[in-house]
Amino acid sequence: MDDGIRFPLLPQVLSGETADVYFIRATEVLGALELDPHVGMEIFPNKPGLCCGVRESLQLLSEAGFDGQLWALAEGDTMSAGEAVVEIFGRYSTFGLYETAIIGILASESGWCTAAREVADAAGTVPVVSFGARHVHPNVAGQMDYAAVTGGCIACSTPLGAALTATESSGTMPHALLLIVGDTVDTARAFHAAVAESVARIVLVDTFQDEAVESLRVAAALGEALHGVRLDTPRERGGVTPGLVKEVRARLDRAGFRHVRIVVSGGITPDRIRLFREAQAPVDSFGVGSYISGAPGIDFTADIREIEGRPVAKRGRIPGMQRSSRLDRLL
């Protein structure tokens, strides 16, 4: 799976500083006892969803010098509660310290990925873009966007997320730009003059005046160069509604601007997407933020099930590896 993609792993992860301290102490004790058996460990979730985080876990082990075997589901594969999604075979000293990091990576990325799939399924054929970077710590923004695209978003807002997914980052202008320039049309013209032609001209139209009025003003100013308008009406004004989308579409069409697309963002969830679709509101794409980035992680557990080829397990678990035929060897 060495395709050139590299996640920004912090040096503290590789040094073990982000590990639960009892793994550090276990390493000290086993070293004192001169015990370093060959073990088999399986990792499984506590509920169904989409598996994501395998690539980063693989990179972590590779950079740490692990020379055993790793078997896993592919990124984005469905997983069931209790199903082994990762199996690791090797000397315990070569990977035991990274249990915290690996199950944490899988937990977060699988949670984001699963939420993105829920959004994408609700949207059907309407594209969804991940706008959630502002809702997470910057150290994991790229991973969140990576998981969102793996789950079904067509693009994401951060350049790092785009680099990890071989896509182009998506987004044009913030409200800050419009407020500083002072007028929507002036901002649109300045953006058109300054930004690379490869960037779609999608203009925010909810900052100063009625969204339909602003949409017509911008369309008249940019003409065929205008790719779309984005509706991000704040909740203080009722948010974006199906009726508003229909009005903007109707006014643009009647004025001869049928090519202008409508992007909807701001508090978008699967339920709200279904509301737009049931009302047959002509949305061309959705920008989704906190529903994906704020999704809870999926709990994973890592258990040693084999020591020197001998099946073992803690009380309540079944000894021996599952050895699922769904897993592929990656190391």
* Tens digits of residue pLDDT in 321-331: 999 999 999 99
State the residue range of the domain holding 324: 11-111+296-329
**Given this model, what pLDDT does residue 92 score?**
98
Q: Flag whether 208 is in a domain.
A: yes
Residues 94, 40 within the same domain: yes
Cβ atoms of residues 94 and 65 within 8 Å? yes
Domain count, the chain: 2
Question: Considering the entire predicted model, what is its pTM?
Answer: 0.96
233 pLDDT higher than 70: yes
1 pLDDT higher than 80: no
Q: What is the CATH number of the domain that holds 42?
A: 3.20.140.10
* Tens digits of residue pLDDT in 175-192: 999 999 999 999 999 999
Residues 49, 198 within the same domain: no
